[in-house]
Amino acid sequence: MIDVRGVTKRFKDNVAVDDLHFEVPTGVVTGFLGPNGSGKSTTMRIIMGLDHADQGEAVINGTPYRKLAQPLREVGALLEAKAIHPGRTAFNHLWFLAQTNGIPRRRVHDVIELVGLDQVANRRVGKFSLGMGQRLGIAAALLGDPGTLLFDEPINGLDPEGILWVRNLLKGLASEGRTVFVSSHLMSEMALTADHLVVIGRGRLISTGSVGEFIATNAGQYVRVRTPRPDELEGLLEAQGAQIRREGDGSLSVSNLSAEQIGITSGNAGISLYELSPQSASLEDAFMEMTRDSVEYHGQRLDGATATTIGK
Amino acid sequence: MRAEWTKMRTVRSTVWTLLAMAVITLGIAALATSTIASRWNTFSPLRRLTFDPTSMSLRGLLFSQLIIGVLGVLVMSAEYGTGTIRATLAAEPRRARVLIAKSAVFFVLAAVVGEVLAFGGFAIGQSLLTSPVPHATLSQPGVLRAVMGGGLVIAVLGLFALGLATIIRHSAGAITAYVGVLLVVPIILQTLPSSFSEPILKFMPFTISNAMTSVASQGSTAFSPWVGFSILVGYAIVSLAIGGWLLAKRDA
Ligand SMILES: Nc1ncnc2c1ncn2[C@@H]1O[C@H](COP(=O)(O)OP(=O)(O)OP(=O)(O)O)[C@@H](O)[C@H]1O
Ligand SMILES: [Mg+2]
């Protein structure tokens, strides 16, 4: 389990991470979502003891990373792909890392095979494609067979086959009872991979909880309505407390009111409907909804009412 | 420690740099001494009298000093340049240990290479200094110290460069700083009045290493070989200590 406790990190006058609290549970894949520059990579570097937090701390199974004697055996991380000397071979890169933590040479061969780089293990990393670099980074993370794994945007640069491979790998690692923490800005990908989510915006926690809860609470259900008399219907529905958004194609997205209530209202008013279909929002929609908030409230303090916290 | 050795050994540039260093250093030893041998007849009696065959055969070590500095810088700054430093520090979060291991491995490597080149240069040089030109043997007073010391200076300067690179973190910047201290500052100082420059020049690695590799005393213009050497060791320790402190304090 990873426990981030009130971590704040400033770069000059720019607050990259702002009083962040969250936990990453064991045995499931936890997605770490946030728009560009929201502080995901910085948070991961702080968890890994690479950056110093200005306030707060991050602990892994109760211990700060820097106190771990053989950290690679407990925590593995892919932070940036290709942060590897281009003149060294894949094997030698993994071998020097293994030596620092007393990991046997056999294991280096094993992880190389596991990520499918056996053909190129003795080639210089400088000649690797983006995808091969990612695979090597993943091999390095798995080297010490750790119980906790962090991946910063692991599917960047991978082809569809590679993406599927990573997705299954992450799920497999979690099902073995490991803690798996994956950052991404691809919500659709997290919907397929993650069970649990931590969402941040501008360095602040926006939400944490299961993927299902996340969608239900944050985007919720809405009803798609098409009618020849949208203005009239909109007025009537709003009078009943509905929230309505006009879509580009002229349809209405109605939330806060069930399809039945909408049907009755329009029937009573004699307004014909071409379409009345309940929709459930995708993770993508939920995410957009939230980050729109974190952008909207920029410059003001987010108070408790606007910072939705679920799963507590 | 073994990991640091793996790191140095597995980068092709380390091997090439050391090879270039050997060729240049031994080549200069051969060139300098054979030139002397062929011109001996034209030398004045005073020049013949003050001729130091040991120092002449160790001339090439100045280039070794340059190259070992570049290598010392690269051993550290390449980790920053390529991002490997994050993998290294994730694997060993006790950062002081990383620097100590790296310094120790590099010191041994540089000392071995330095000694091989010093003794090699000496052997080649002396074999080319044929009669009537005087040549030195290791059993003569001060000769062994000059040759061995020449190799040690290489190792200590390499560490100094490694420390600079830990502080500066960029290859180009650290190499510039190193070359500046080693060569540029002494050259500038030499253009200034000696009453002003001499007390400063005494502290320059250039002067210190000259005193070390010469059998004859340099008089008041330089510290005695081992005093100078201690000052050099001091530079290396200070640069590594500041580097280590910054390494622990800064974000990777
Ligand atoms: N070393 C640094 N020095 C100065 N500012 C930094 C540094 N690292 C990150 N930042 C700033 O901190 C903020 C958070 O950056 P971070 O890289 O953590 O975001 P991210 O969520 O990983 O973004 P992305 O999705 O683009 O990877 C950004 O505003 C960034 O400019
Ligand atoms: Mg990032």
Mutate to test the interface with A, among B1, B5, B82, B88 (most CBs of A within 10 A): B82
Comparing alpha-carbon positions, the chain B residue that sits nearest to A78 is: B87
The DSSP line for B60-78 is THHHHHHHHHHHHHHHHHH
Check whether A203 has a pLDDT greater than 70: yes
Nearest-angstrom CA–CA distance, A150 and A141: 8
Q: Do B86 and A96 touch (CB under 8 A)?
A: no
Check whether A220 has a pLDDT greater than 80: no
> Residue B194: pLDDT band by 50, 70, 90 thresholds?
confident
Q: What is the CATH number of domain A221-280?
A: 3.30.70
Check whether B132 has a pLDDT greater than 80: yes
Q: What is the dihedral of CA A157, A159, A161, A162, to 10 degrees?
A: -10
Question: Which pLDDT score is estimated for B176?
Answer: 97
Nearest-angstrom CA–CA distance, A109 and B155: 36
Q: Which atom of ligand 1 is nearest to the CA of A203?
A: 14
**Which member of A49, A67, A85 has the closest CB to residue B84?**
A85
CB B153 within 8 A of CB B212: yes
Q: Is A147 in the pocket of ligand 1 (CB under 6 A)?
A: no
Check whether A300 has a pLDDT greater than 60: no
Check whether A309 has a pLDDT greater than 50: no
Q: Stretch B186-194: mean pLDDT, rounded?
A: 91
pLDDT tens figures, A27-85: 999 999 998 899 999 999 999 999 999 999 999 999 999 999 899 999 999 997 667 89
Give percent of chain A above pLDDT 90: 68
The pTM is what? 0.86
> Residue B252: pLDDT band by 50, 70, 90 thresholds?
confident
Question: Which pLDDT score is estimated for A81?
Answer: 66
| Peptide bond preceding A104 in cis form (omega within 30 of 0) | no
Comparing alpha-carbon positions, the chain A residue that sits nearest to B75 is: A85
Nearest-angstrom CA–CA distance, B128 and B26: 12
Q: Is A50 in the pocket of ligand 1 (CB under 6 A)?
A: no
pLDDT tens figures, B47-68: 998 899 999 999 999 999 999 9
pLDDT tens figures, B107-118: 999 999 999 999
CB B50 within 8 A of CB B218: no
CB A60 within 8 A of CB A47: yes
> Residue A25: pLDDT band by 50, 70, 90 thresholds?
very high
Nearest-angstrom CA–CA distance, A219 and B12: 55
- How would you class A88 by CB atoms within 10 Å of its CB: exposed for 0-12, middle for 13-18, buried for 19 or more? buried
- DSSP structural state of residue B180: I
Residues of chain B with Cβ-Cβ distance to A45 below 8 Å are 86, 251-252
3-state secondary structure chain A: CEEEEEEEEEECCEEEEEEEEEEECCCCEEEEECCCCCCHHHHHHHHCCCCCCCEEEEEECCEEHHHCCCHHHCEEEECCCCCCCCCCEHHHHHHHHHHHCCCCHHHHHHHHHHCCCHHHCCCEHHHCCHHHHHHHHHHHHHCCCCCEEEEECCCCCCCHHHHHHHHHHHHHHHHCCCEEEEEECCHHHHHHHCCEEEEEECCEEEEEEEHHHHHHHHCCEEEEEECCCHHHHHHHHHHCCCEEEECCCCCEEEECCCHHHHHHHHHHHCCCCCEEEEEECCHHHHHHHHHHHHHHCCCCCCCCCCCCCCCC
3-state SS assignment for residue B135: coil
Comparing alpha-carbon positions, the chain B residue that sits nearest to A65 is: B93
Q: Stretch B148-153: mean pLDDT, rounded?
A: 97
Give the number of the ligand closest to the Cα of residue A203: 1
Closest CA to B209 of B145, B166, B161: B145
Nearest CA owner, ligand 1 atom 24: A36
| Structure tokens that stand for B248 in this block | 């622990």
Nearest-angstrom CA–CA distance, B31 and B156: 26
Q: Which fold has domain A2-217?
A: Rossmann fold (3.40.50)
Closest CA to A91 of A115, A116, A120: A120
Q: How many other CB atoms are there within 10 angstroms of residue B56's CB atom?
A: 24
Q: Do B84 and A83 touch (CB under 8 A)?
A: yes
Q: Stretch B77-92: mean pLDDT, rounded?
A: 94
Q: How many other CB atoms are there within 10 angstroms of residue B52's CB atom?
A: 17
**Ligand 1 pocket mutation pick from A38, A150, A187, A189 by most atoms within 8 angstroms of CB:** A38
Check whether A305 has a pLDDT greater than 70: no
Check whether B184 has a pLDDT greater than 50: yes
Residue type, A233: L
Question: Which pLDDT score is estimated for A295?
Answer: 57
Nearest-angstrom CA–CA distance, A55 and A4: 11
pLDDT tens figures, A264-278: 999 999 999 999 988
Nearest-angstrom CA–CA distance, B44 and A200: 82
Give the number of the ligand closest to the Cα of residue A32: 1
Rounded to a whole number of angstroms, the distance from the CA of B156 to the nearest CA of chain A is 25
Nearest-angstrom CA–CA distance, B115 and B175: 23
Domain ranges of chain A: 2-217, 221-280
Mutate to test the interface with B, among A46, A100, A136, A149 (most CBs of B within 10 A): A100
Nearest-angstrom CA–CA distance, A151 and A169: 12
Give Cα A231 distance to the centre of its chain: 39
Q: Do A86 and B82 touch (CB under 8 A)?
A: yes
pLDDT tens figures, A138-184: 999 999 999 999 999 999 888 999 999 999 999 999 999 999 999 99
pLDDT tens figures, A78-129: 997 667 898 999 999 999 999 999 999 999 999 999 999 999 999 999 999 9
Q: Where are the alpha helices (DSSP H) in chain B?
A: 2-9, 12-39, 45-50, 53-57, 61-82, 84-91, 95-128, 143-168, 171-179, 185-190, 194-201, 205-213, 225-249
User: What does the mean pLDDT of chain A come to?
Assistant: 88
Q: Is A201 in the pocket of ligand 1 (CB under 6 A)?
A: no
Contacts of A108 by beta carbon, 8 Å cutoff, 6+ apart: A91, A94, A95, A98, A143
Question: Which pLDDT score is estimated for A301?
Answer: 41
